[in-house]
Structure 1
Amino acid sequence: MWLAPIAVLTLFMALLGTMYLDYVVDPEKNLHDFPIALVNQDVGDTIGAPGREQQVNFGNQITDALRQGIPADKVDLQVLGINEAQLKMQSGAVYGTILIPSDFSKRLGILGVGSVLPGDIQRPTLTLQTNPRSGAFVTEIVTTIGTRALAQVNEQVGKQLTEQVHAQLTPPPGGAPAPELTGATRVALADPVQIIIAPFRPLPSGTGQGLTAFFYALLLLLAGLVGSMTIHTMIDAALGFVPTEYGPWYVHFPTTPISRFNTLLIKWGVMVITANIVAGVFLGVAKLLDMPIDHPLTLFLYSALAIIAVGITGLSVLAAAGSAGLLINLILFIILGLPSSGGTVPIEATPKYLGWLAKFEPMHQVFVGVRAIIYFDANFQAGLARGVWMAVLGLAIGLVLGIFITRYYDYKGLHRRDPARG
């Protein structure tokens, strides 16, 4: 009587602890295939004194240095044009962009000349664009990777620029001695590039710095999961299959002569009605809290679909496995779902097996769908298409499982009645 629940709960909690701690304990160690775009618009420049001119393109050199310096097993560095990079940022396909401007080599050349000649100069810039709409923790990872890599590039460019300035100052044989570089000039040449970190399409206020999509998706999943368990228990109690107990009040209604299949149809019907009501309630609460939602109808329809898909699948699992279905649903939707959702820590910064789970786990599909609606203007390429089709697929699986298993049980005469009660 006591050994079984202890063993089940211990195994259950061991799985819960492993999944939840493993995905968050060391994101940098787990980093893999993290998509960052690199846009090189530098057109190059001609530097040097008359007679010793040379064509340079520091943008190409930085591109090569970043390719070699950023570990390919951790970061998917994609060299793209500016338009393609912006499109991928708009759909969340890349998490950040390193932008080398068209006048980068020219400004470096001016900085080199300005170090020994009077005049106003400006430091060349490299821009690191983050994509806060992809997730709260994504920005931190992009900033860490980008600043570390660009700092190394800045050091290399500084050494090369200093060497070129020295070479340009070297007099011909018999000429006047070259002027010495001042300490301030050496410092400026050693750190020649200004690194600018800026968000691409910053999130408006009321988005929880990119967390509202995750928590909204979590609400939809819980509505389907908790709804399925509540509907399952209350309908069974009303039909007399389980007792009803509220505090000291206890009643067990007579068992209703109804098939498993028809019972499941009733529960499905209640779930569909409830899902639409709850989807409207969530949308109303979000509006009351001034949460920015540009596509309320799309969010309502998708929310109802997601709740229905989770709820019907959960009810089918309960119809198939009985009380054990509670544990199965918790493992499927919560224990495996939350760590593989990508809602807090991106999938590319979690262990690879969580990336495999994210391909079919409901929580990830619901999250990318909600995120696309709230943050990416309901863009199908940003995840809405995946969210919709995976919800439809999950709904179909739930319907097929429920129909097949209840029909099979009814066919075999495995009716839900207690012989002792008649």
Structure 2
Amino acid sequence: MRWVFPIVVVTLLASLLGVMYLDYVVDPEKNLHNFPIALVNQDVGDTLGAPGQQKYVNFGDQVVDGLSKAVPTDKIDLRVVGLNESQQQMQSAQVYGTIIVPGDFSKRLGNLGVGSVVPGDIERPIITLQTNPRTGAFATAIAQRFGNEALTQVDALVGKQLTDQVRAQLAPPPGGPPAPELSGATRITLSHPLNIVVDQYRPLPGGSGEGLTAFFYSLLLLLVGMVGAMIIHQLIDSALGYLPTEWGPWTVHNPPTQISRLRTLLLKWAAVATLAVIVSAVYLGIADALGMQIDRPLALFLYGAFVIIAVGFTCTSVLAAIGTAGLIVNLIIFIVLGLPSSGGTVPIEATPRYFGWLANFEPMHQVFLGTRAILYFNGNGAAGLSRGVWMTVLGLVIGIVLGLVVTRYYDRRGLQRKPVGAKQMA
């Protein structure tokens, strides 16, 4: 029966939606893989020990070794780099956080050991965990959780080594008086010697929605490109007499216009291009009026118009190629598969691996990278703008080629837009 087919189609589409949208958010910790964290060791080491028993130590190297062993390599991509390189990777959204061991780390640990048995003021050595809030709130939370768990293990490891070292220094010579017993407070201090400080690298300014404005702005661009193209397709086809137009209880069906498929597509593309420029300017004005932080308005306007054109051209080409079924194809490509693989809310490294494969070519991910780079990373090409622009160019080329080739082929074969079985137009 005819009513069964649409139910089956919608059920299948709803099932795909359910899998895609729930699978990427149900258990990010379980799906965590290749999550990039930078590790910077600036410790220069120090010479510790009693006179005649001194030796050079570098506790920073021990922290690096301890973290390398404690970190699950299948989940965390721990990158041991210099400070300048770590900052470059933070500025280009290549890592979600950085652990920094300062240059005086060993010296402060040594002072802490001495201070535990000699009166005087001492400071606990610091390890800094820098988060990268411009990569998104969810990524920041994962980086902070990882840092707290890993550095807690390192704190216990370093504390054990420091306690053993102090006990060795207090050990009496053979035949001498017994060593003084460490007090409870001293043992607690030595067992957890590190001061772990969490800091934000380049905090987001106000009006950034905790890093979500880039995602929602990208979604708006994609939606207006896709939905706008579908509306333009319907209205122009109606005006040309190929589709009826309903106004309440009345139906208007204009006589078909003598026009080729190619010219019809070019007419729709012209409407999409005009729409793109207008809507991109409107979105920019709305964002500014609402207090959204925009440092590069011209770049955002141009990129927004470009994205709408690329998405709109491709959607109209798909509709020209396969007709009404193109509505479902466009929905699947741009929305069903696109949103969960965008990386805009949950980072790609915290989703099932097939989302990473989809992110290689899905339009939403490319648009998000470009928009985020403009809004949060000063238009840095390495932060995603270069990829966003070139992938949008590729999408536009695919849409143009598909539309031109298919409509030209239909016109050459005389496949006019008419009911099946109807005679050809004169």
Letter in 2 for 1:320: A
CA distance in 1 between counterparts of 2:58 and 2:108 reads 11
Aligned residue number for residue 365 of structure 1: 366
Percent identical among aligned pairs is: 65
1:68-107 deviation per Cα after TM superposition (whole angstroms, max 9, x unaligned): 1101111111000000000010000111100000000000
CA distance in 2 between counterparts of 1:36 and 1:108 reads 25
CA distance in 1 between counterparts of 2:328 and 2:399 reads 17
Aligned residue number for residue 234 of structure 1: 235
CA distance in 2 between counterparts of 1:125 and 1:345 reads 30
Aligned residue number for residue 282 of structure 1: 283
1:147-173 deviation per Cα after TM superposition (whole angstroms, max 9, x unaligned): 100000000111111111000000111
CA distance in 1 between counterparts of 2:137 and 2:424 reads 57
* Aligned 8 A contact 2:416 2:424 in 1: no
Q: Which runs of 4+ in 1 moved over 2 A?
A: 174-177, 417-422
Aligned residue number for residue 26 of structure 1: 27
* Aligned 8 A contact 2:128 2:197 in 1: yes
| Secondary structure, counterpart of 1:28 in structure 2 | helix
Aligned residue number for residue 311 of structure 1: 312
* Aligned 8 A contact 2:109 2:193 in 1: yes
CA distance in 2 between counterparts of 1:43 and 1:177 reads 35
* Aligned 8 A contact 1:138 1:346 in 2: yes
* Aligned 8 A contact 2:310 2:399 in 1: yes
1:291-330 deviation per Cα after TM superposition (whole angstroms, max 9, x unaligned): 1111000000000000000000000000011000000000
1:271-290 deviation per Cα after TM superposition (whole angstroms, max 9, x unaligned): 00000000000000010011
Aligned residue number for residue 303 of structure 2: 302
Q: How far does residue 136 in structure 1 lie from its aligned partner after superposition?
A: 1.8
| Secondary structure, counterpart of 2:416 in structure 1 | coil
User: Does 2:196 correspond to 1:175?
Assistant: no
1:127-152 deviation per Cα after TM superposition (whole angstroms, max 9, x unaligned): 00000101121001101111100000
Aligned residue number for residue 114 of structure 1: 115
Give the TM-score of the pair, scaled to structure 1.
0.99
CA distance in 2 between counterparts of 1:247 and 1:296 reads 42
Aligned residue number for residue 132 of structure 2: 131
Aligned residue number for residue 393 of structure 1: 394
CA distance in 2 between counterparts of 1:146 and 1:192 reads 16
CA distance in 1 between counterparts of 2:418 and 2:258 reads 8
CA distance in 2 between counterparts of 1:199 and 1:137 reads 14
1:308-364 deviation per Cα after TM superposition (whole angstroms, max 9, x unaligned): 000000000000110000000000000000010000000111111110110000000
Aligned residue number for residue 406 of structure 2: 405
Q: How far does residue 246 in structure 1 lie from its aligned partner after superposition?
A: 2.2
CA distance in 2 between counterparts of 1:390 and 1:135 reads 22
Aligned residue number for residue 16 of structure 2: 15
* Aligned 8 A contact 1:255 1:417 in 2: no
CA distance in 1 between counterparts of 2:395 and 2:296 reads 24
* Aligned 8 A contact 1:132 1:210 in 2: yes
* Aligned 8 A contact 1:65 1:153 in 2: yes
Aligned residue number for residue 42 of structure 1: 43
Q: How far does residue 257 in structure 1 lie from its aligned partner after superposition?
A: 0.8
CA distance in 1 between counterparts of 2:12 and 2:418 reads 32
CA distance in 1 between counterparts of 2:192 and 2:79 reads 26
| Secondary structure, counterpart of 2:29 in structure 1 | coil
Q: How far does residue 176 in structure 1 lie from its aligned partner after superposition?
A: 2.8
Aligned residue number for residue 160 of structure 1: 161
Q: How far does residue 174 in structure 1 lie from its aligned partner after superposition?
A: 2.5
| Secondary structure, counterpart of 2:179 in structure 1 | coil
CA distance in 2 between counterparts of 1:52 and 1:174 reads 19
Map 1:86-125 → 2, pairs under 5 A: 86-125=87-126
* Aligned 8 A contact 1:236 1:242 in 2: yes
CA distance in 2 between counterparts of 1:32 and 1:259 reads 51
CA distance in 2 between counterparts of 1:362 and 1:349 reads 19
Aligned residue number for residue 330 of structure 2: 329
Aligned residue number for residue 416 of structure 1: 417
Aligned residue number for residue 146 of structure 2: 145
Q: How far does residue 177 in structure 1 lie from its aligned partner after superposition?
A: 2.3
| Secondary structure, counterpart of 1:76 in structure 2 | strand
Aligned residue number for residue 53 of structure 1: 54
Aligned residue number for residue 223 of structure 1: 224
* Aligned 8 A contact 1:213 1:371 in 2: yes
Q: Which moved further from structure 2: 363-372 or 246-255?
A: 246-255
* Aligned 8 A contact 1:136 1:209 in 2: yes
Letter in 2 for 1:267: K
Q: How far does residue 421 in structure 1 lie from its aligned partner after superposition?
A: 11
CA distance in 2 between counterparts of 1:242 and 1:23 reads 39
Q: How far does residue 365 in structure 1 lie from its aligned partner after superposition?
A: 0.3
CA distance in 2 between counterparts of 1:136 and 1:111 reads 36
Q: How far does residue 178 in structure 1 lie from its aligned partner after superposition?
A: 1.5
Q: How far does residue 378 in structure 1 lie from its aligned partner after superposition?
A: 0.4
Letter in 1 for 2:136: G
Letter in 2 for 1:266: L
- In the alignment, structure 1 segments of 5+ residues that lack a partner are none
